[in-house]
Amino acid sequence: MTLEQALIASLPLIVLTVPMLLLRQSGLRSIFAALSVSIIVALAAYRTPSDLLMYAVAKGIINALNIIYLLLGALLMFRIMESSGAMQEIAREIAGAVGKEGARFLVLGWGFSAFLESVAGFGTPIAVVTPMLVAQGCDPITAVSSSLIGHSWVVSYASFGTPTIVLQEIGNLQAWRLAYTTSVLLSISMVLCGLLMCHIRGGLKGIRENAVMVIFSSIGASIVFILSPLLYPYVAGVAAATTLILMLSLASKGGSGTDRLRLLRSVLPYVVLILASTLLRIDWLTGDVRRFTQIAISFPGTSNTGPSEIRIDLLAHPGTCMIIASFSAIILQRRSREDSYFMALRQTLGQSKGSILPLLLTFVMASIMQDSGMMATIALEASKAPAMLYIALTPLIGVIGCLSTGTNTGSNAIFGPLHENYALAARVDPYIILAAQNAGGAVGSAISPFKILLGCSAVNIKGKEGQVMSKTFAYCLILALMLSITAVLLYIL
């Protein structure tokens, strides 16, 4: 295997990333161009038969639809909660529980934004929390930068774990183990995000005034973050963010108090979600029904991949669980008008339509590169690098992928197969490498052009995107470098 062959195999990735990073070309245009190049390379350089190419396209589409179903369920639930007033109620009660101004800033920008990212994703914390921070007295650029950094530690669990699910399915890995390793890495990022938010708002003085509260709150939240994947991996983000909010409330006294009954009613749909996600996976309860709701699609093997099967459990699917929880929200929030739910559905479709096609094309491209042998070629050349160096660079690759595709999910879909192939070629634990990719893509979301544009629009500072990017970039780099150090330590130990 030569360096020239590896460069040819890398052409789709180069076409994807360079125009977006250097020429500011739109994501959809870059992804479409990269997909076209992947097809040309597969046919011309790898002599991939047309029928196997079509199988690869079909696999990519099916895997993408599986993820899209989850995203639509998460967005629908969030929009219903928002239209019923429950989400606003949660934010109001959280703010009322905290007395200190610095603590309110952290609760909203660090805790509540992470909660929103866990349940909705799609940049929702930026759109919702940034105006709240401005209302608390932050200048708009500080508010946008704080929101971007504040929730980046939990992005691997956006929309109930969508980016992590992508990696799990790419590598056919154990969900709990991948999520556990990811949480170990990101628990360090959680603490840093809190401290960096304090620095964004008040410099070194801000860190000195709030460091004890940040560290105290992080201890409890980190324990929950690391242990919750052992029970149910995809709620690790929600559990950790909720714990973080509670710990911050305990650390800061003097709030106006909360209406616990009202708050309980507002969060009940999330309790329903956790119960549905747990109960629908118990075989003796739902096993007979799930046999009729499972979809299994088989694909023949190629010279690069063996025979494969995509299995989707529709009844226990996270998307289904979120739809069930959405109906519970409709029942519980009786004060809302019926037409508000149809509005929530329209908002869900409107918000997601700009992301569905890029996501679909990204998965198809990744599938073609995997089945044609391109990823194997790149991985074999990369395997010549020492494992420690490769692991150290993996979070930075995740950052580049997120910067290029705009999402951690897209970054994982593109680079996940590469890391999986490297782990096989270099005989390295795939969980550490894929978790490092997952965590790198999470902190890389802080400089996602899409999120920066969304944040600037939310507080009416369009044209200031460059200032936000320059202010946020250094903090993102600190987070990525710390992830590299932590990943290497995990590898050594």
295-326 pLDDT, tens digit per residue, is 877 777 655 555 667 777 788 777 788 788 88
Residues in contact with 54: Cβ distance below 8 Å, sequence separation at least 6, in sequence order: none
For residue 488, what pLDDT band results from cuts at 50, 70 and 90? very high
11: number of Cβ within 10 Å: 17
Q: What is the pLDDT of residues 332-391, one digit of tens each?
A: 766 555 556 677 777 777 766 766 787 788 778 878 887 888 877 876 777 677 889 999
Name the token pair of 358: 């890029």
Mean pLDDT of 38-49: 91
Cα-flanking dihedrals φ and ψ of residue 224, to 5°?
-65, -40
Q: Which pLDDT score is estimated for 355?
A: 67
For residue 278, what pLDDT band results from cuts at 50, 70 and 90? low
For residue 331, what pLDDT band results from cuts at 50, 70 and 90? confident
**Does the pLDDT of residue 409 top 70, yes or no?**
yes
**Does the pLDDT of residue 434 top 90, yes or no?**
yes
Q: What is the pLDDT of residues 107-161, one digit of tens each?
A: 888 988 898 888 767 667 887 788 778 767 788 889 889 999 999 999 999 877 8
For residue 436, what pLDDT band results from cuts at 50, 70 and 90? very high
Q: Which pLDDT score is estimated for 149?
A: 94
Q: Which pLDDT score is estimated for 98?
A: 59
Distance CA 356, CA 358 (A): 6
Return the minimum-mean-pLDDT range out of 7-16, 79-88, 300-309: 300-309
Q: Which pLDDT score is estimated for 189?
A: 93
369-384 burial code (b ≥16 CB/10 A, e <16): bbbbbbbbbbbbbbbe
For residue 42, what pLDDT band results from cuts at 50, 70 and 90? very high
CA 48 to chain CA centroid, nearest Å: 33
Q: Which pLDDT score is estimated for 282?
A: 72
**Does the pLDDT of residue 39 top 80, yes or no?**
yes
Q: How many CA atoms lie within 13 A of 44 on its CB side?
A: 10
Distance CA 64, CA 57 (A): 11
Contacts 24+ apart (CB under 8 A), 460-466: 460/140, 461/140, 461/141, 461/144, 464/140, 464/141
127: number of Cβ within 10 Å: 19
**Does the pLDDT of residue 256 top 80, yes or no?**
no
For residue 480, what pLDDT band results from cuts at 50, 70 and 90? very high
For the chain, give the secondary structure using H, E and C. Answer: CCHHHHHHHCHHHHHHHHHHHHCCCCHHHHHHHHHHHHHHHHHHCCCCCHHHHHHHHHHHHHHHHHHHHHHHHHHHHHHHHHHHCHHHHHHHHHHHCCCCHHHHHHHHHHHHHHHHHHHCCCCHHHHHHHHHHHHCCCCHHHHHHHHHHHCHHHHHHHHHHHHHHHHHHHHCCCHHHHHHHHHHHHHHHHHHHHHHHHHHHHHHHHHHHHHHHHHHHHHHHHHHHHHHHHCCHHHHHHHHHHHHHHHHHHHCCCCCCCCHHHHHHHHHHHHHHHHHHHHCCCHHHHHHHHHHHEEEEEECCCCCCCCEEEEEECCCCHHHHHHHHHHHHHHHCCCCCCHHHHHHHHHHHHHHHHHHHHHHHHHHHHHHHHHHCHHHHHHHHHCCCCHHHHHHHHHHHHHHHHHHHCCHHHHHHHHHHHHHHHHHHHCCCHHHHHHHHHHHHHHHHHHCHHHHHHHHHHCCCCCCHHHHHHHHHHHHHHHHHHHHHHHHHHHHC
Q: Which pLDDT score is estimated for 56?
A: 87
217-226 burial code (b ≥16 CB/10 A, e <16): bbebbbebbb
Q: Which pLDDT score is estimated for 194?
A: 93
pTM: 0.70
Distance CA 468, CA 34 (A): 28
Q: Which pLDDT score is estimated for 310?
A: 73
Distance CA 422, CA 377 (A): 10
Across all residues in the chain, what is the average pLDDT?
Answer: 80
Return the minimum-mean-pLDDT range out of 18-27, 177-186, 368-377, 414-423: 18-27
Answer with the residue of higher pLDDT: 7 or 269.
Answer: 7
Q: Are 311 and 296 in contact (CB under 8 A)?
A: yes
Mean pLDDT of 273-282: 72
